[in-house]
Each structure stands twice: as structure tokens, then as C-alpha cells.
């Protein structure tokens, strides 16, 4: 059962229009999440595992495959396990899909930004 007292937070990249759009949608509805500039303060592997659990997805679904690091690190290799993908995201936070909104003990990737409203 999701914990409604769990912190409301947004893993945010202010340079990303989708991330800015999601934050704006939340603020228009009176929601002021804890904003985590994940490129400046990247989540560690444990936090990423927690996020994946809240999202209900595997690590590959949180990966940005268009980033240079994705190609350079060979992350398209289907034989790579969850641990390797999580370690890559922890070491290279640009690989993390954005924004990720956490609310009420659940999470959603805000692409399109309106998806964040699903948790309200």
C-alpha cells in the first residue's frame, strides 16, 4: 500500500523543457515538491533502486538511450543486468530519464509532463 506521508519530490533538470513543464503543472495545482537537481546531487544506487520500485519498472525503462554515455558505455547490450544499468545511472546521472515525480508512495516519469498529474 503506498504511503501517503512519503515525501513529494521531483527529480528535475532545469534545462529540460519537459521537466520545467512538469514543475509548472504541479505548482499550478498548489503542489510544491522537494526539487532535486539530480545532475548536481545524483541519486546513488540505493535511491535509484527505490525509485525503480516506486515506478514499477526495470532499470532499462529509466535510461535515456539518446545520451552519448549510453552509446559509449555500451548500455544497449541486452545482456547487461539491472545492477550494471543502475551503476551506470548512478555514475552518469545524465542517463536518468526526467523528470521523475514521487508522490504518495508512488512515482511516474513525467513524459509527457501531464503524466505527473496521474499521482494527484
Nearest to 120 by CA among 8, 20, 1, 16: 8
Q: Which residue ranges make up each domain of the chain?
A: 9-119
Banded pLDDT at 4 (limits 50, 70, 90): low
Quote the pLDDT of residue 48: 97
Residue-by-residue DSSP string for 73-101: TTTT-TT--HHHHHHHHHH-GGGB-S-EE
Termini Cα distance of the chain: 16
**Span 48-71, average pLDDT:** 96
Q: Mind listing the pLDDT tens digit for each residue in 90-115?
A: 999 999 999 999 999 999 999 999 99
Among 6, 16, 37, 117, which one carries the catalytic annotation?
16
pTM: predicted TM-score of the whole model, two decimal places: 0.92
Active site residue 16: yes
**Span 26-38, average pLDDT:** 95
**What fold, for 9-119?**
Glutaredoxin (3.40.30)
Amino acid at each position: 500500500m503506498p504511503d501517503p506521508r512519503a515525501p513529494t519530490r521531483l527529480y528535475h533538470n532545469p534545462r529540460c523543457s519537459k521537466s520545467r513543464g512538469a514543475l509548472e503543472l504541479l505548482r499550478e495545482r498548489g503542489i510544491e515538491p522537494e526539487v532535486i537537481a539530480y545532475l548536481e546531487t545524483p541519486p546513488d544506487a540505493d535511491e535509484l533502486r527505490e525509485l525503480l520500485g516506486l515506478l514499477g519498472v526495470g532499470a532499462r525503462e529509466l535510461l535515456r538511450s539518446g545520451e552519448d554515455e549510453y552509446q559509449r558505455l555500451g548500455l544497449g547490450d541486452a545482456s547487461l543486468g539491472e545492477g550494471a544499468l543502475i551503476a551506470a545511472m548512478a555514475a552518469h546521472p545524465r542517463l536518468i530519464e526526467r523528470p521523475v515525480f514521487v508522490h504518495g508512495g508512488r512515482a511516474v516519469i513525467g513524459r509527457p509532463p501531464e503524466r505527473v498529474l496521474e499521482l494527484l
